[in-house]
Structure 1
Amino acid sequence: MRARSKNSQRESQQGTQDVATREQLLIAAGELMAERGVSDVSLSDIAIKSGLNSALVKYYFGNKAGLMIALLRKVLGPAMLQLHHLSGMKLPPEEKLRIHISGMVMIYFQYPYINRLMHQLLSDEPDTFGSLIAQEFSAPVAAVQKHILDEGFAAGTFRKIDPLLFYFHIVGACDQLFFGRYQLEHVFGIKAINNQLKSQFIDHLYSVVLDGISATSKEP
């Protein structure tokens, strides 16, 4: 019994250590991408940043791409859960729309490397990561957006809107602002997106979208 208890304790300690090591590697990768404004960081850089051996990436994640997918799940997981809860909330559809747009922009603002990382994975291995990213991250967003649009139409608040066009309007606007940092700097003289610009963008995008889909607006 004592031997079994000691084995269980060792396994528990090892499990805790494994979780901590995985987390350390993920945090290091995310911080490097945020600091450098890029999505492609080397295993050696991740090892230096984390203070761990780069071989641990293969041990815990299989390869660097596996680590990057795990990072996406780590940072987007809570947002996906909140998105799911949004559908069932007893709120007017226009308020749900504002919460959704605000949440989308906040994710990009908090984790500015997310869009670059997705683009990188899709560019490097589209057949491997295309369906995975679509099913885990894009499809849930599109489903909630459609739910909000359907609720708004049923309530007489929104006119009938194509959910496909709506999806690319919202996601594309967020993606372009945070992906287009060179346009921000060289066209508008803005080197970084701060809280003020983030809030202004949320207000602008929400008002433009709401005006466009309102039941009182004219169809194009």
Structure 2
Amino acid sequence: MNRKKPSPTTAPAAARGRGRPASAAVDREARERLIDAAVTLFSERGIAATPLSAVARAAHVTPALLHYYFGNKENLVDAIVEERFVPIVSQVVHKLSGIEATPRAAFTTFVQEVTATLSTHPWLPPLWLREVVTEGGQLRERIVGHMAPRLAQPLVGLVRQAQAEGRLNPAIEPRLIMVSLIGLTVFPFAAQGIWRPLFEAGDVTAESLARHVLALLLDGLLLPDK
């Protein structure tokens, strides 16, 4: 009697024959679903509080298939960093490298790129707060290791150079510039469940948020005295 072959998206690794997936397209799609499910659940519950079985259920695959792709949670987290966070950082770095090296141009590009990215990746702000900002977060060392040399340090250097040339407010502390940029861009998305209903701000878009942040950064709060 012929037995029905198990689906490649639900079968355990032993049914796949020498570890090779039955279909490359199905293989990629199932793996992407697992990573998407993981970032969503990790942002809602935290990495430590999310069992791999919950990730498998959310992705509609078996725990055995998750193990086939990642082996354990540590490898899954590494995949999230390499395939979700690093491309985002790389995109911002690429945009910054293609502009005129002035603080105004750099800050404008950073704010516009980050706000646009966060508006299309709703899992990122809460995951950032849970696992990067919070003490003991499992992404802190991984993310900071990618961001500091590629993004933060060049911006610090740009601020210092502009101050030395007399083109930037000397009261600005260069080592806090990334703290300010992250606070002005990431936090509004992470806290929008509070300020949107509180201020009836459901119509605030990523573009209007970027304009607001850039007005604060580049022009300040107060108008010149007349």
What TM-score does the superposition give when structure 1 sets the normalisation length?
0.70
How far 1:129 sits from its partner (Å)?
A: 3.8
Amino acid at match of 2:87: P
Does residue 77 of the first structure (1) align with residue 83 of the second (2)?
no
> For 1:108-187, what aligned pairs fall within 5 Å after superposition?
108-122=118-132, 123=134, 125-126=136-137, 129-150=139-160, 152-153=162-163, 156-160=166-170, 161-187=172-198
The verdict on how the C-alpha distance between 1:92 and 1:131 changes in structure 2, with shifts beyond 3 A counting, is: closer
- Quick one: distance in 2 between partners of 1:101 and 1:76? 17
How far 1:25 sits from its partner (Å)?
A: 0.9
- Quick one: distance in 1 between partners of 2:156 and 2:90? 17
Tell me the equivalent position of 1:188.
Answer: 199
* More helix per residue: 1
Question: Is contact 2:156-2:174 (8 Å) kept?
Answer: yes
Question: Is contact 1:47-1:53 (8 Å) kept?
Answer: yes
1:60 aligned residue (57, 69, 73): 69
How far 1:23 sits from its partner (Å)?
A: 1.9
Which ranges in structure 2 are unaligned for 5 or more consecutive residues? 1-17
> For 1:31-50, what aligned pairs fall within 5 Å after superposition?
32-33=40-41, 38-40=44-46, 42-50=51-59
The verdict on how the C-alpha distance between 1:145 and 1:39 changes in structure 2, with shifts beyond 3 A counting, is: farther
How far 1:136 sits from its partner (Å)?
A: 1.6
- Quick one: distance in 2 between partners of 1:51 and 1:113? 19
Tell me the equivalent position of 2:219.
Answer: 211
What TM-score does the superposition give when structure 2 sets the normalisation length?
0.68
- Does 81-90 or 47-56 show the bigger shift? 81-90
How far 1:202 sits from its partner (Å)?
A: 0.5
> Number of aligned pairs?
197
Question: Is contact 2:81-2:142 (8 Å) kept?
Answer: no
Secondary structure, in 3 states, of the residue corresponding to 1:159? coil
Question: Is contact 1:87-1:144 (8 Å) kept?
Answer: no
**Cα shift readout 1:51-92 (whole Å, capped 9, x = no counterpart):** 211233344334335424422432232232233334432425
Question: Is contact 1:39-1:117 (8 Å) kept?
Answer: no
- Quick one: distance in 2 between partners of 1:209 and 1:102? 13
Question: Is contact 1:142-1:163 (8 Å) kept?
Answer: no
How far 1:102 sits from its partner (Å)?
A: 0.9
Identity score, percent: 20
Backbone CA RMSD of aligned residues? 3.4
The verdict on how the C-alpha distance between 1:131 and 1:47 changes in structure 2, with shifts beyond 3 A counting, is: closer
Tell me the equivalent position of 1:201.
Answer: 209
Question: Is contact 1:33-1:39 (8 Å) kept?
Answer: yes
Secondary structure, in 3 states, of the residue corresponding to 1:83? helix
How far 1:144 sits from its partner (Å)?
A: 3.2
How far 1:171 sits from its partner (Å)?
A: 0.4
